[in-house]
Structure 1
Amino acid sequence: MANSSNSSRDLRLPDFIGVGPGRTGTTWLHEVLKGRVNLPAGIKETDFFTTNYNKGIEWYAHHFRDADRIRPIGEINPYFGFPEAAERIAIHIPRCKIICSFRSPVERIYSAYKLWRHYTLTNDPLDKFLVKVPQVIEVSRYATHLPDYRARFGDDRVLVLLNDDLRADPQGYLDRVCDFVGIERYPVPASVGEGELINSINDLPRFPRVARRARKFMYWLEEKQAYGASNFLEQAGAWRLVFGGGPKFPPLDPVIEEHLHELMSPEIDALEQMIGRDLSAWKRPRVKSGTAAHVASLQER
């Protein structure tokens, strides 16, 4: 049964949180868990333990007001790499289970950059962008931040997942999640388990000025908690229309790619030791055939 009083107050709070980081399969995980666990009402990411913390724990708990007392309560929100988030989760939900999903850091960094460009949050080339927004690299330092979660919640309450495993065996990946959060195993839904691209970013907006206005409107709707309107526009394809349709993103520049591999190599070496996995594939560019390229873009987020 879900833990209905997981903090010092009688509030409905998550039994588990998938902290990401983003661009590692978090949207895929959210989609496959729909209907199997209690998720936030109307929105995927509340961002409570980072940008919305000043709104108070009652504001956060209100997102789980409709949660039943049978299925676990959870949220999939990329808090990884923000130490204040780990601390705040531990304060309010000390026995929370944590899911960390990791992906080749170089792939993740470029995917995050494409997301920023897609939503007109930056127009800088990648090298300048990474100087201005170092957090994109910081949240890719898995070996730096994983020990904090393990220390706060215990090794048995921190599940580490690799995006490589999601690509290779979605069902096995989901089975591990089910066992961890305490629900019965079930087949991966066909809509998300057969190569469908979930939140994959491939192109720039056709009309950047319109996209910038749309982004501000989208954020305004979320600020007002008008989740129904925002979800309707998403399902109707409005966001996809205004934020896409422009030039396609080119492959990552080989010079920058090599630099990022050198930069992240110590982190990858350290993570190998922490989780006992061979991550040598992360230390060099991934070779993609036409079919492999399609699979590699699976679950961009």
Structure 2
Amino acid sequence: MTQSSNNGRQLRLPDFVAVGPGRTGTTWLHEVLKGRVDLPAGIKETDFFTTNYHKGIQWYAHHFRDADGGRPIGEVNPYFGFPEAAERIALHIPRCKIICTFRNPVERIYSAYKLWRHYTLTNFPLDEFLVKVPQVIEVTRYARHLPDWRARFGQDRVLVLLNDDLRADPQAYLDRVCDFIGIARYPVPALAAQGKLINSITDLPRFPHLARKARHFMYWLEEKQLYGMINFLERAGLWKFTFGGGPKFSSLDQATEARLHDLMRPEFDALEPMIGRDLSMWKRPQADCSPAAPRADAIQGK
């Protein structure tokens, strides 16, 4: 999509943004779209419409400098739950298509907590963490924020997908995305079908102090846009070594799970008529639900 800036220069900006929230299969979607659409050069998430907005629209457009207009441009970035992001995307790309990926809120909240622990962003127990970082719950309030996206972009330009459908039938899930963004359908790549292209979180860092230093180094590389170095270190196994190898995460205890279900139940009830889906599978404790399909943990990005 071409947009004009204030100085008359033509900018290449996304035709669609998959806004998440995070821990709902966004990494899977980014990976399977590679090579089929034009994504940000060198990085998955620019965070432009949230933390990096002060850098200006030219900075953002530079990430799509390699796009030649021959295929859709997109970004997969968890902007859902941030009203300022919806407002800014509507300002700069008013005809943008939006993809929302929703996952069982209780699972998503716990997965987000594990991500924070994995990257040494917190050491608090879950209950205390959710008090100190309320945004984790806020971005999981799908029924609260979905109407704003629909109002800004139009209901026909906002696609709602459920992680349950991804687990049950990855190909049908991808087909819906292809139809929505306007590209030909194609088979789910083998590694993605096997759940091997997923940002799964299973363990804590073996050396927390080293992990904190590595995280700050990663942030510094991102600030300098040294994405190639970040990706090289990932391929070399540095990030996996630094941020993993420690104790494994346990399953969410039943008492905490029950409290989160009670907290999020109004969201379940409000979302059902909003998207026309039966969400009864979200309303039962996870222990009561039979697995939807093999590789569920991987596809969910636990």
Matched residue, 1:134: 134
Residue 266 of structure 1 pairs with residue 263 of structure 2: no
Matched residue, 1:252: 252
Matched residue, 2:3: 5
How big is each residue's C-alpha offset from its partner over 1:234-292, in whole Å with a ceiling of 9 and x where there is no partner? 11111011000000001102111100000000001110010010101111222367996
In the superposition, the TM-score normalised over structure 2's length comes to 0.96
Give the SS at the match of 1:298. Answer: helix
In structure 2, what residue type is equivalent to 1:137?
Answer: I
Checking the alignment, whether the CA contact within 8 Å between 1:195 and 1:298 is kept in structure 2 is yes
Matched residue, 2:21: 21
Checking the alignment, whether the CA contact within 8 Å between 2:112 and 2:136 is kept in structure 1 is yes
Matched residue, 1:117: 117
How big is each residue's C-alpha offset from its partner over 1:105-152, in whole Å with a ceiling of 9 and x where there is no partner? 000000000000000000000000000000000000000000000000
In structure 2, what residue type is equivalent to 1:98?
Answer: I
State the 1:294 CA deviation: 4.1
Distance 1:292 1:151 in 2: 35
Equivalences for residues 1-301 of structure 1 within 5 A:
3-5=1-3, 10-196=10-196, 198-287=198-287, 294-300=295-301
State the 1:20 CA deviation: 0.2
Checking the alignment, whether the CA contact within 8 Å between 2:194 and 2:295 is kept in structure 1 is no
In structure 1, what residue type is equivalent to 2:114?
Answer: K
Unpaired segments ≥5 residues, structure 1: none
Distance 1:63 1:182 in 2: 21
In the superposition, the TM-score normalised over structure 1's length comes to 0.96
Question: Percent of counterpart pairs with the same letter?
Answer: 77
In structure 2, what residue type is equivalent to 1:169?
Answer: D
Distance 2:182 2:231 in 1: 29
Distance 2:170 2:41 in 1: 26
How big is each residue's C-alpha offset from its partner over 1:192-228, in whole Å with a ceiling of 9 and x where there is no partner? 1123261110000000011000000011000000000
State the 1:84 CA deviation: 0.2
State the 1:299 CA deviation: 3.8
Distance 2:245 2:20 in 1: 28
Give the SS at the match of 1:51. Answer: coil
Checking the alignment, whether the CA contact within 8 Å between 1:6 and 1:95 is kept in structure 2 is no
In structure 1, what residue type is equivalent to 2:187?
Answer: P
When residues 16 and 290 of structure 1 are mapped into structure 2, their CA distance, relative to the original with a 3 A threshold, is closer
More displaced, 81-90 or 232-241?
232-241
When residues 93 and 197 of structure 1 are mapped into structure 2, their CA distance, relative to the original with a 3 A threshold, is closer
Distance 2:226 2:108 in 1: 30
Checking the alignment, whether the CA contact within 8 Å between 1:112 and 1:136 is kept in structure 2 is yes
Distance 2:37 2:91 in 1: 23
Give the SS at the match of 1:100. Answer: strand
Distance 1:64 1:197 in 2: 23
Give the SS at the match of 1:284. Answer: coil
Distance 2:118 2:90 in 1: 34
How big is each residue's C-alpha offset from its partner over 1:46-99, in whole Å with a ceiling of 9 and x where there is no partner? 000000000000000000011121100000000000000000000000000000
Checking the alignment, whether the CA contact within 8 Å between 1:122 and 1:129 is kept in structure 2 is yes
In structure 2, what residue type is equivalent to 1:298?
Answer: I
